[in-house]
Structure 1
Amino acid sequence: MGNRAHRSLSGLSVQSGGQRAIRRALPQEVPVALVFDGVTQAVMMASPGDIADFAHGFALSEGLIDDPGQIADFEEVAHDTGIEARFWLHGDRGAVLKDRRRAMLGPVGCGLCGIDSIDAALRPLPRLPDDDLRLSRPEVAGATDALRAHQPLHDRTRAVHAAGFLRPGQGIVTAREDVGRHNALDKLIGALARQGIDANTGAFVITSRVSVDMVQKTVIAGAPVLIAVSAPTALAVDMAETAGLTLAAFARGDGFDLYAHPHRITAGDTHVA
C-alpha cells in the first residue's frame, strides 16, 4: 500500500452538455493501528501523512495516555495493508490499558466509534481555567479563511478537513489535514504536544461542524477557544459552557456566532460579552 497523501485516478465527468474523461487527485485513506506495549487499542481510518502526530494526539485526546512523558519509545511501521503506530510506555500504563482495551474499528471521521457505554461517550471534562488569552473580532472572523492557506491537500483533492492553531497576533502557526475531521484535530493536538507548544496559548480552528467529541478533544488538550466554520450541536454548546470553553461558530468573512464564554473575544478595546 502506498502511503502518499493522494492518488490520481481516472473517471468520467457527466454534465448537461455531455461527458468527458477526467483524471483527478483523490485523497488516500489507510487503516492506522494504535498499538501500546504490543496490544492494539484502536484501529482508525486516516490520511497517511503526519501519522506520529495523529497517534500522539489520539492517545492524548482519548485518554490512552495522560502525558507525553508516559511514552518510552515510539515507531511507525508501514505494512502493505496499513500502518502501525507503536508505543512503548513507562511503568504500568500498558497494564492499565489492557484492562480498558477498546479495540475500535471505525469509519472515516468517526470520533466515538467503539465507545461501549453512554457514560464513556459523555465523559466529564475538566473545567478550563480562567486565563488572559484574548482574540480580537477580526482574528476570529478571519480564522477559517486564514486556515485555507495551510490546506495543500485540500487544494489538490477538495475532500479533506483541516485543524489549525491560532495564536493572538501571529495567525495560524500550525495546521494539519486529514480525511476525518476528528483525525485532523488529533494530528494538530499531537503536533503541538510533540513540539512542546501549550494549547492554552491559542485557539483551535476547524473546517467542520462542532460535535461533542470535538469539544471534548479541545478541552482535554487545554485550548480555551474553539473556532469553527460550521454549526455546533446543542449538546456541544452545553458541554462548552460547562467546561469553560469559548465557542465560536459560522466563522466566515467578517463575522461569527458566539455560543459560550464570549469574554475571550474582544471588539476594539471592549469585550464582546
Structure 2
Amino acid sequence: MTTQQRSATVHVHRVAPGEPRARAASPTLDAVAVEEPLEIRLDGHALAVVMRTPGDDEDLVRGFLLTEGVVLRPSEVRAVEFGEDAVADARLADGVVVDIEQFSRNLFVSSSCGVCGKASIEAVELLAPRAPQFPVRRDVIAGATDRLGELQPTFEETGGLHAAGIFDLDGRALVVREDIGRHNAVDKAIGALGAEGWPLPPALLVVSGRQSFEIVQKAAMARLGGVVGVSAPSSLAVELAQQLGLLLAGFARGDRFNVYAGAERLDG
C-alpha cells in the first residue's frame, strides 16, 4: 500500500573538509523526498507507471490524462478511484470514447524524464493547440520564480523536489504543486486547476527547473500562454514554443530573464 508521506527520515554521514573522521562516521538524521510508483489505469486498462512523490495523486492523474492528450477536457474523467496497491483508475464520463490501445503504454515513467517512450515528436506537435496570444507584463515574469520558491514547503524540508505553479497575469499564484519529477509537478498543478474550471484562465506555467520539450508540450495542451523557468530551455522546447506561439522565458531570477520565444508579447 502506498504512503502519502512526502518526506522520509534517513541516516546520513556528513563529510566536510577538516571534519574529524570519527564525527563523519557518526550518522545523523536528515529528511529526503519520498519517491514511489503509481500505476495509472483508464477504465481498468493500464496506461503507465509513474514515479512520483505521493500527495495530490488525483490532480496528477487528471493532469497526466489531459496533457498527454488522452482526454481533451477535465470533464471527460468522471472519477479517479484508488486501490490499495498504488493503483489509480480513472473512470471516463458517460459517452466519452478513448482508443485504449492507442494510449496504452505499459511503460515505466521515470521521475526525471517523464514519458520517455514517446514514438513521435511530430505527433505531439500536431496534437497541441496554438497558445493564446495575450500580452504579459515584464514584472510578472521577473518575479515569478522567486514567488514560486516561497511556496515550496517540502523543498524547504528536503531540498529534493521540483515545483510548478500556474500564475495569473498579475503574478498571483493560482495553484502550486511539488513533486520529485518536474513533469509530475506540472501535471498536478494543471490537474488541480482544471478541476476548478475549463478552459483555464489566461495564465503562465512557472517551473523551478529547466524547460524541456515535455514541459512546454504540457503547457500547450493545457492552453496556457507561456512557460517561465529558473533555468534554460532545451532546443526542442524552444522550437515547440515558437511553433505553437508560447512565450518561453528562462533564467528568470530576480529582475532578469531571457526570452527564447514570444518576445513580441512582452508588455511594459
Letter in 2 for 1:127: R
Name which of 35, 59, 66 aligns with 2:41.
35
Deviation at 1:53, TM superposition (A): 0.4
Deviation at 1:73, TM superposition (A): 2.5
Letter in 1 for 2:172: G
Deviation at 1:236, TM superposition (A): 1.2
For structure 1, which runs of at least 5 residues remain unmatched after alignment? 268-273
| Alignment check: 8 A CA contact 1:39 1:98 kept | no
Q: Which runs of 4+ in 1 moved over 6 A?
A: none
| Alignment check: 8 A CA contact 1:225 1:247 kept | yes
Higher alpha-carbon deviation: 141-150 or 190-199: 190-199
| Alignment check: 8 A CA contact 1:31 1:44 kept | yes
Counterpart of 1:116 in 2: which secondary structure? Answer: coil
Deviation at 1:72, TM superposition (A): 2.6
Normalized per residue, which structure has more strand?
A: 1
For 2:98 and 2:259, how far apart are their aligned partners in 1? 43
Higher alpha-carbon deviation: 37-46 or 256-265: 256-265
Are 1:110 and 2:116 matched, yes or no?
Answer: no
| Alignment check: 8 A CA contact 1:51 1:76 kept | no
Do the aligned partners of residues 234 and 95 (structure 1) sit closer, same or farther apart at CA in structure 2, a change above 3 Å counting? closer
Query: Which residue of structure 2 lines up, in the alignment, with residue 244 of structure 1?
Result: 245
For 1:168 and 1:99, how far apart are their aligned partners in 2? 37
For 2:12 and 2:186, how far apart are their aligned partners in 1? 31
Query: Which residue of structure 2 lines up, in the alignment, with residue 69 of structure 1?
Result: 75
Letter in 2 for 1:181: R
Counterpart of 1:35 in 2: which secondary structure? Answer: strand
For 1:90 and 1:160, how far apart are their aligned partners in 2? 33
Alpha-carbon displacement from aligned partner over 1:62-88 (angstroms, at most 9, x marks no partner)? 111112222232222343xxx211111
| Alignment check: 8 A CA contact 2:168 2:201 kept | no
Query: Which residue of structure 2 lines up, in the alignment, with residue 125 of structure 1?
Result: 128
For 2:73 and 2:174, how far apart are their aligned partners in 1? 23
Do the aligned partners of residues 125 and 31 (structure 1) sit closer, same or farther apart at CA in structure 2, a change above 3 Å counting? same
For residues 200-211 of structure 1, the aligned pairs below 5 Å read 200-211=201-212
Do the aligned partners of residues 239 and 117 (structure 1) sit closer, same or farther apart at CA in structure 2, a change above 3 Å counting? closer
Query: Which residue of structure 2 lines up, in the alignment, with residue 263 of structure 1?
Result: 264
Higher alpha-carbon deviation: 94-103 or 217-226: 94-103
Are 1:101 and 2:104 matched, yes or no?
Answer: yes
| Alignment check: 8 A CA contact 2:128 2:217 kept | yes
Letter in 2 for 1:252: R
Do the aligned partners of residues 178 and 127 (structure 1) sit closer, same or farther apart at CA in structure 2, a change above 3 Å counting? same
Are 1:53 and 2:54 matched, yes or no?
Answer: no
Counterpart of 2:83 in 1: which secondary structure? Answer: strand
Deviation at 1:200, TM superposition (A): 4.4
Do the aligned partners of residues 112 and 2 (structure 1) sit closer, same or farther apart at CA in structure 2, a change above 3 Å counting? closer
Higher alpha-carbon deviation: 115-124 or 48-57: 115-124
Query: Which residue of structure 2 lines up, in the alignment, with residue 196 of structure 1?
Result: 197
Letter in 2 for 1:88: R
Letter in 2 for 1:65: V
Query: Which residue of structure 2 lines up, in the alignment, with residue 221 of structure 1?
Result: 222
Letter in 2 for 1:35: R
- The total of aligned residue pairs comes to 262
Query: Which residue of structure 1 lines up, in the alignment, with residue 161 of structure 2?
Result: 160
For 1:255 and 1:187, how far apart are their aligned partners in 2? 28
Q: Structure 1 length as normaliser, TM-score? A: 0.89
For residues 170-185 of structure 1, the aligned pairs below 5 Å read 170-185=171-186
Higher alpha-carbon deviation: 115-124 or 213-222: 115-124
Are 1:212 and 2:213 matched, yes or no?
Answer: yes
For 1:167 and 1:121, how far apart are their aligned partners in 2? 26
Higher alpha-carbon deviation: 258-267 or 40-49: 258-267
